[in-house]
Structure 1
Amino acid sequence: MSRVAFPLSEVYGLVEPGPVVLLTTAGKARPNVMAQSWHTMMEFEPPLVGCIVSDRNYSFDLLEASGECVIAIPSVELADKVVKCGNCSGAEIDKFATFGLTPVAATEVAAPLVAECFANLECRVVDDSMVDRYGLFVLEVVRAWIDPVVKRPKTIHHRGRGCLMVAGKTITLESNAK
């Protein structure tokens, strides 16, 4: 086996945790949406998601202040809009209007759903003890929505520096899980 050293600054692209999502928050002037890829499931019931948001992001203050957000899961067809949302700040522009995304009222939180996404998870912050040190918010999913018309959506995954991977073929193996 041959090996070469790999830059530590690029390790995150090797252990990418899941699909790139759009995280929405409610703001006083307007809602905001950001591309986000550093998240992980932490518990099944109630569903808990660990979500890292840098304090350099406009969404950080909105999430910290409201304690609520929506995790909207886009399919590959939205990749261009997702990347554009990740390359600018909601402090300067209305990303929903600029990138043609449709905010839809959620039922449990003030942050909007994203109509174009095949799944939307309404979330509340349930643990902020690691926010100051790591930017890690623990979110409880309090309501989940899917578009029943969308079958087998292909998600996008962040590999770093503008590189995205599209989810591929699904395989099913025997499992004892119920």
Structure 2
Amino acid sequence: MTVAVLALQGAFAEHENVLKRLGVDCIELRQAKDLETPYDGIILPGGESTVQGKLLKELGMFDTIKEQIENGMPVLATCAGLILLASEVEGQEGCHFGTIPMCVRRNAYGRQLGSFRTVAELKGVGEVPMTFIRAPYVAETGDGVEVLATVDGKIVGVQYKNQMAFAFHPELDNDTRIHEKFAAMVRDK
């Protein structure tokens, strides 16, 4: 099993470190030719969603990855990755991949100073640490979207078919259960 980590910008190295700790092989997606290497799942890391979306298109990677996701490729998305998957972003024309029917609010907790850590329940996993950095949250979900986690009444984790998306950064904490859940999804696909 091999997981591809989008490595254009953002917190991709931290995801790779967690995968390595779990014994999961990973590759980096930096340019279109990297998409030719076989992989079984993909991680869309935190960072800046606008920059990532722009680079995905400029580098000729966008359409291939979107098609892979739509065809069932398991995805783990964190923070900016959640925004990339949303079908609607508040106050923004259009969307990026748009593969999860949900509306997200960018920078919902304010600027960098609004960053925080908490512990909350994640459906099917238990209480997990959650690190929020200029985080979004899910303002509204569409049909078929399962809410996995909420913090202070705000949706911060969802699953839709083969896609898990979180507003926080599980790769920044020592708890590996979210990545383990994702690895199990990839194995079982």
| Band of TM-score, shorter chain | under 0.3
Specify which structure has the bigger relative contact order, considering alpha-carbon pairs within 8 angstroms and separated by 6 or more residues: 1
- Relative to its length, the structure with more helix (as a share) is 2
TM-score, length basis structure 1: 0.26
Larger Rg: 1
